[in-house]
Amino acid sequence: MGLFKSKAVVTPLSETDRKFLLEWSVPYSEMTPAIKAEFEDQVAHFLAGRRITGVGFSGALEREDRLLVAASACTLSAGWPGFRWTDVSEVLLYPDDFDRDFQIADEDGGATAELSGEAHPWGTVILSLPSLEDSFEDPHDGYHVGYHEFAHVLDRDTASSVGPSGDGGLPSNITGKFADLMGRALEKTRAALALEQSPLDPYGLESPAELWAVAVEGFFELSSALADAHPDLHQLLDLYFNQRPRN
């Protein structure tokens, strides 16, 4: 009856895991020691607690594949002590190369059902392994399918309940004045993006939810360009992700 809800035993990352992540993840390699330790703990919990399923691979998933998935999520949350990705029930990893927001054909093979933002109410995140590897291999191009999809998970309360036109666009763990400020900064950013005056990917013009996800990609991959183009948004994201020591 849940009285003896056991505490999951979580195996810490091995030296091999850490070495692999240091080679692959620029954000991790640049974290302060305290944030690094939190990141490692969160990655270990993610691997222990979230199901990561390979779909259509000939063999089992490699440890490295799982590490890249967990690192994508925990790069976003490393500044939030004790954060767990409990909204994610499963990550489906495909061997095919596809972009952000995978669309799966419906049973008639006709129209497609978008399974990005709309997948998250069921807690499923869908990623292409080749795209995920590309995302880590080029850490400064503003494109990272992993950060993008997990940014949608943070936006669940709003993005999940709207249609393709998309409302949402703000993470569910901010409220009040901070949320208002973030909303305004994103709106200013959207206007600039529409005028091609932004380093962010124009895919963000699709909907507020996509703008949020693209802004998160930009924050981790194009930090100084984002700070130059949208200083208010950059400052708010910096506060939100909380990964820099403050005085």
Residues that bind Zn ion (CB under 5 A): 101, 116, 210, 213
User: Minimal distance in Å, beta carbon 240 to Zn ion?
Assistant: 18
User: Minimal distance in Å, beta carbon 204 to Zn ion?
Assistant: 9
CA proximity to 17, closest of 53, 43, 36, 46: 43
User: Minimal distance in Å, beta carbon 148 to Zn ion?
Assistant: 6
Q: Which amino acid, residue 51? A: R
Residue closest to Zn ion (Cβ): 101
Q: What angle do CA 56, 216, 20 make, to 5 degrees?
A: 55
Nearer to Zn ion, 13 or 145 (CB): 145
Nearer to Zn ion, 21 or 193 (CB): 193
HSE of 155, CA atoms in CB hemisphere, 13 A = 32
Transcribe 217-244 into DSSP letters. HHHHHSHHHHHHH-HHHHHHHHHHHT-S
Nearer to Zn ion, 38 or 217 (CB): 217
CA proximity to 221, closest of 69, 66, 72, 21: 72
Task: Measure Cα distances from 30 to 16, 23, 39, 153, 163 in Å.
Answer: 18, 11, 12, 24, 38
User: Minimal distance in Å, beta carbon 32 to Zn ion?
Assistant: 30
Question: And the tokens for 125?
Answer: 């995140």
User: Minimal distance in Å, beta carbon 116 to Zn ion?
Assistant: 4
Nearer to Zn ion, 201 or 210 (CB): 210
Question: And the tokens for 103?
Answer: 């669309």
User: Minimal distance in Å, beta carbon 123 to Zn ion?
Assistant: 16
CA proximity to 191, closest of 233, 144, 237: 233
CB environment 90-112: b (16+ within 10 A), e (fewer):
ebbbbeeeeebbbeeeeeeeeee
Nearer to Zn ion, 17 or 101 (CB): 101
Nearer to Zn ion, 13 or 226 (CB): 226
